[in-house]
Amino acid sequence: MSQTLIQLQGVGVRIAGQAVLQDVQLSVQPGQIVTLIGPNGAGKTTLVRAVLGLLKVDTGSVWRKPKLRVGYMPQKLHVDPTLPLSVLRFLRLVPSVDRTRALSALAEVGAAQVIDSPLQGISGGELQRVLLARALLREPELLVLDEPVQGVDVSGQAELYRLITRLRDRHGCGVLMVSHDLHLVMSTTDQVVCLNRHVCCSGHPEQVSGDPAFVELFGQDAKALAVYHHRHDHEHDLHGQVLPDAPAAGLRIHGAVQPHVHGDDCKHA
């Protein structure tokens, strides 16, 4: 347990008399990306709330590393349109954050240019990066990301997932991520946990995608998921536009067919 960040054993939760989670086992290690997948109503958000200590479990145990620093990125953020809140003021709601720290965090996620923009006026991709910067300002040992690419187009989603991987590599933090984007997230995670109130299957992405429980849960089309390498000779900005003189980046995507309009050199594995 010395290296473990969180450990759930036999966790069960009942809400209004109904079993929402049953006998869930889960752990996250430093430098590991663990992704929760599952249909709506599978208990993913409930499990995240249990991990964060916002919800008391009815059975089992939730262990956290003592004094564990957690950075949380919510699925949605609603800000009243009449509230005069800039990105900088939003980030400074985190204790001990000044403009220099806020700008550094935004630069790390590729959103430094929005620091003085109204929070309500930035794009979906920019907002997700701001929320990620806010999570990083807590200097987390564990990042908990609930649908981190919500409201972002496909090219922006791929870049955000690559960014999350780079942040993991740079900071050595563990990542617990909730996602519905199977074809993208399967290539950017170390372990997949397929949840449907209980853990249906778990393991490396290639193992899970071929598991009968996974196929039963997501349908026969899930059998078509396959791994191939998609090698970019460019990167995209927040809006999906090609960045000039950007270094090459590699992306592994699971999917039978991925449309491509940028003229990249695709090599299939």
Residues 133 and 64 in one domain: no
* pTM summary value: 0.78
- One domain, residues 101 and 127: yes
Q: Are residues 103 and 42 in the same domain?
A: no
- Tell me which residue has tokens 């590699």: 250
Q: Provide the pLDDT for residue 186.
A: 73
DSSP state of 123: -
Which SS3 state, helix, strand or coil, does residue 214 take? Answer: helix
Q: Are 6 and 55 in contact, with CB atoms under 8 Å apart?
A: no
The answer to whether residues 90 and 216 belong to one domain is no
Rounded to whole angstroms, the Cα distance separating 183 from 207 reads 14
What's the pLDDT score for residue 221?
55
Look at residue 201 in the predicted model and tell me its pLDDT. 85
- For position 206, what pLDDT does the model report? 72
Same domain for 110 and 198, yes or no, is: no
Interstrand relation of 199-203 and 191-195 (parallel, antiparallel or unpaired):
antiparallel
Q: How high is the mean pLDDT in each 10-residue block of the chain (269 residues)?
A: 88 95 96 92 94 96 96 87 91 96 97 96 91 96 93 83 93 93 76 92 77 69 40 42 43 31 36
Same domain, 89 and 17: no
User: In terms of residue numbers, what domain contains 149?
Assistant: 6-69+140-267
Burial class (CB in 10 A: 0-12, 13-18, 19+), 259: exposed
- Is 186 within a domain? yes
What CATH number has the domain bearing residue 22?
3.40.50.300
Is residue 31 within 8 Å of 4, Cβ to Cβ?
no
Q: Roughly how many angstroms between the first and final C-alpha of the chain, as a whole number?
A: 36
